[in-house]
């Protein structure tokens, strides 16, 4: 049995990372100071490669981990090699956090140096705080200082991740400004020794959710210190299906759920999410869009729940009725009107597809009784 529910990226992909680092060394690829691998290898780690790498006498296949926009990943890597921070913005569930973890694991070998932004985040959670017993005993000294992720990042020359930055109050966000521009953190209590100059390799990856826009709007001074990348939802059903399958397979493997993922069901769910998000079906029907977040991550969760139900309570198969029940649970979180919209979707699009394509779509249409 594994020891953690979700191991960090650098543990989960340890072998791939090591193989890439070795290949990098063999090829003599250039890498920025303190980076564990070259930008090209980081790209390969995230976007995958057809060519397997020989490592420890076996072949190591680098899988594609991020789908949708390869150019965006390339821009992210180049941004992190430069002097500006990287800010990933987008709708919830568009894999911003995953991308930031992958980047940190590849570049610094550590995706855990993270600040989790909340309404209660304070400056000492970002920069540093004190061990008060030592502070009283020895006075202000490096020993008594408890470094927070920003401090650690600067000291070690690694990436600091700042999740949900717009959830934190504006004055706390602004404490990043001087660090990002001057790359120096001043600890006044330590006097002349209180200047921490960032080591090469340090940078910040922030993520912000566009649904939180306006809650704590970032100041333009802070915005100027970042390159922004807008992460869009996946715009192809085939790609969304692939993501659902990949994620579900990985989740199942981690939970030792020995059950095969059904590709047709994944496609059904991917179409549903895609069409409800876009507001138009593949047949051209206009659809009312629900207010709930229709992200791929939500689709993965609906699929995985259905899979678990089938595994523990059912006959080891994915049940379409159960899928619809989980879909209801996922969609009618915020607004009951959303359920009406999904009903409308079933009565128009799913019905049309059931008539034309039959099979799974018919079962799906028949399961509409659970939409309540």
Partner 1 sequence: METILRSAEMAEIMLVPVRHHSPACSCHIRKVIAQWRPDAVLVEGPDNANALLPIMVHEDTRAPFAIYYAYHDKAKKISDEQEYYKCYYPFLDYSPELTALREADKNMTYVSFIDLSYGDILAASAKKLAEEEAPRSYNDDYLLAHNSYLQMLCEKTGLRSFDEFWEKYFEINGMYEDSGSWFSHLSTYCALARENTPEEALQREGCLAREQHMAARIALQALRGSGAGIFPGEKKMQRILVVTGGFHTPGLQEYLSDARWEETVRHAKNIAHYVPGTDESVYLMPYSMESADALNGYASGMPFAGFYQKVWEGIDRQSQNPYGEAVLDFLVSAGKAVRKDDGALSTYDEICAWQMAQGLCSLRGKPQPGAYELQDAVLASYVKGECDLSSDMPVRALRRLMTGTGSGALCARADVPPIVLDFQNQCRVFGIRTDSTLEKEVVLSIFSSRKHRGMSMLFHRLNFLHTDFAKRLKGPNLQLRIDRSLIREIWKYKHSAQVSAALIDVSVHGATIEEAAVSLVQEQLLQDQKADSAALLLTQVFEMGISGQLEQVYERVHTLILQDMDFYSNADALRYLMMMEKLGTLYGSDLAFDALLHTSVRKLITLLPGIAQMSDDALDAGMDALKLLYQLTGKRGPQYADEREDFYAALVRMQEDVQIHAGLNGCIHGILYGGGREDAKAVNAVSQGYLTGTKDQLLKTAVFFRGLFFAARDLILMERGMLEGIDAFLGQVDEEEFMELLPQLRMAFAYFTPAETDKIAKRAAGLHRRTGQELMARAEVLPDWYAYGKELDRYARGYLYRAQDL
By the criterion CB under 8 A, which residues form the site for partner 1? 39-40, 43, 47, 70-71, 74-75, 77-79, 81-84, 89-90, 210, 213, 218, 220, 223-224, 227-230
Partner residues linked to 196 by β-bridges: 185
Three-class DSSP category at 372 = coil
Nearer to partner 1, 43 or 277 (CB): 43
Cβ at position 40, least distance to partner 1 in Å? 6
Residue 44: exposure state from Cβ atoms within 10 A (0-12, 13-18, ≥19): buried
Cβ at position 42, least distance to partner 1 in Å? 9
Nearer to partner 1, 22 or 75 (CB): 75
Cβ at position 341, least distance to partner 1 in Å? 23
Cβ at position 241, least distance to partner 1 in Å? 16
Cβ at position 79, least distance to partner 1 in Å? 6
Cβ at position 109, least distance to partner 1 in Å? 20
Alpha carbon distances (Å) from 307 to 2, 7, 115, 320: 20, 21, 33, 10
Report the alpha-carbon distance of residue 180 to residue 166 in Å, rounded: 17
Query: How is residue 6 annotated by DSSP?
Result: S
Task: Please list, in sequence order, all residues whose beta carbon lies within 8 angstroms of the beta carbon of residue 17, skipping any fewer than 6 positions away.
Answer: 10, 36, 37, 45, 105, 106, 109
Helices 359-366 and 320-331, axial angle in degrees (round to 10): 60
Do 60 and 15 contact (CB within 8 A), yes or no?
yes
Report the alpha-carbon distance of residue 52 to residue 31 in Å, rounded: 21
Nearer to partner 1, 89 or 323 (CB): 89
Cβ at position 300, least distance to partner 1 in Å? 23
Do 324 and 371 contact (CB within 8 A), yes or no?
yes
Q: DSSP H helical segments within the chain, as ranges?
A: 9-12, 14-27, 39-47, 70-81, 96-108, 123-126, 132-138, 149-156, 170-173, 176-182, 220-223, 237-254, 263-278, 296-312, 320-331, 337-345, 351-357, 359-366
Nearer to partner 1, 145 or 205 (CB): 205
Report the alpha-carbon distance of residue 128 to residue 336 in Å, rounded: 44
Nearer to partner 1, 227 or 305 (CB): 227
Longest dimension (CA), the chain: 78
Backbone angles phi, psi at 50, to 5 degrees: -75, -30
Nearer to partner 1, 201 or 310 (CB): 201
Nearer to partner 1, 210 or 363 (CB): 210
Three-class DSSP category at 116 = strand
Cβ at position 101, least distance to partner 1 in Å? 20
Cβ at position 36, least distance to partner 1 in Å? 16
Nearer to partner 1, 91 or 189 (CB): 91
Nearer to partner 1, 43 or 167 (CB): 43
């Amino acid at each position: 049995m594994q020891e953690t529910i979700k191991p960090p990226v650098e543990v989960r992909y340890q072998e791939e990372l090591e193989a890439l680092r070795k290949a990098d060394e063999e090829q003599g690829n250039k890498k920025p100071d303190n980076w564990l691998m070259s930008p090209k290898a980081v790209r390969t780690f995230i976007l995958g490669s057809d060519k397997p790498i020989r490592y420890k006498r076996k072949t190591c296949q680098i899988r594609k981990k991020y789908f949708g926009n390869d150019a965006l990943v390339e821009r992210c890597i180049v941004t992190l090699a430069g002097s500006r921070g990287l800010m990933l913005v987008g709708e919830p569930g568009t894999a911003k956090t995953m991308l930031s973890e992958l980047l940190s694991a590849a570049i610094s070998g550590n995706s855990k140096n993270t600040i989790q932004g909340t309404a209660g985040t304070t400056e000492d959670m970002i920069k540093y705080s004190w061990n008060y017993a030592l502070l009283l005993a020895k006075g202000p000294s490096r020993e008594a200082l408890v470094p927070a992720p920003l401090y650690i990042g600067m000291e070690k020359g690694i990436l600091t991740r700042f999740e949900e930055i717009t959830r934190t109050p504006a004055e706390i966000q602004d404490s990043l400004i001087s660090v990002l521009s001057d790359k120096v953190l001043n600890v006044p209590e330590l006097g002349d020794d209180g200047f921490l100059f960032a080591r090469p390799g340090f940078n910040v990856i922030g993520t912000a959710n566009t649904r939180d826009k306006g809650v704590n709007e970032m100041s333009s001074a802070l915005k100027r210190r970042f390159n922004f990348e807008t992460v869009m939802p996946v715009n192809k059903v085939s790609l969304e299906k692939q993501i659902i399958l990949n994620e579900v397979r990985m989740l199942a493997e981690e939970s030792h759920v020995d059950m095969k993922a059904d590709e047709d069901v994944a496609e059904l769910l991917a179409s549903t999410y895609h069409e409800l998000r876009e507001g138009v079906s593949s047949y051209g029907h206009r659809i009312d869009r629900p207010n709930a977040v229709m992200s791929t991550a939500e689709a993965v969760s609906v699929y995985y729940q259905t899979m678990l139900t089938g595994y523990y309570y059912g006959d080891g198969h994915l049940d379409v009725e159960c899928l619809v029940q989980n879909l209801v649970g996922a969609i009618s979180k915020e607004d009951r009107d959303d359920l009406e919209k999904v009903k409308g979707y079933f009565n128009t699009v799913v019905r049309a597809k059931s008539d034309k394509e039959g099979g799974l779509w018919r079962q799906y249409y028949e399961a509409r009784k659970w939409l309540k």
